[in-house]
Amino acid sequence: MRMNNNTEGGDSARDEARPTAAHLSRYQRSYQMTTDQPERFFWLWQEALAHALLLEHQLERSFPEHGNLTALQMAEGARAYARFYAFMLAEVPARTTEHFERKIMVCEAMAFDEEEIKRTRTAVMVEAAMQQDARALGITLRKAPMPPGSPSRH
């Protein structure tokens, strides 16, 4: 940002710091998209994750109409969207048990995916939000012992 303070044009440094119409449009879209919508974020997370899993099973496929990306690259894009929606679901404190239950489902699904755990910290953030919500809602979470080979880690 350049500093230019002249007496005729005002404080141009301050003017340059003001949000432009493009910034305001982006903030408007963000606000409208990110209001507390746990049901919507859960379904969008689930859809994006399902798409990622389906794409990962099409190793030979490429998408010339989408920049010639491979199915694995498209799957990683779908996973990025899934992470975003998981984060958005986790961000707002749960005020209902339904919202809290959705956080648990997302957390458990992400905890089973070792590759996802290696790639991102989203699962850790969702779990931290879930733990905080449990305290705020007066719910006690405990890990139950599971026999070796059990499909659940919780």
pTM confidence score = 0.75
Mean pLDDT of the chain: 86
Across residues 6-19, what is the average pLDDT? Answer: 71
Instruction: List, in sequence order, the alpha helices (H) in the chain.
Output: 12-17, 21-34, 38-56, 71-91, 97-111, 114-119, 122-137
Mean pLDDT of 135-147: 83
pLDDT at 1: 46
Whole-number Å distance between alpha carbons of 134 and 16:
44
- Per the CB < 8 A criterion, the answer to whether 145 and 106 are in contact is no
Q: Say what the pLDDT of residue 33 is.
A: 76
Q: CA geometry: angle at 114 spanning 111 and 120, to 5°?
A: 80
Distance, CA of 119 to CA of 113 (rounded, Å): 10
Taking residues 27-38, report their average pLDDT.
82
Q: What is the pLDDT of residue 154?
A: 45
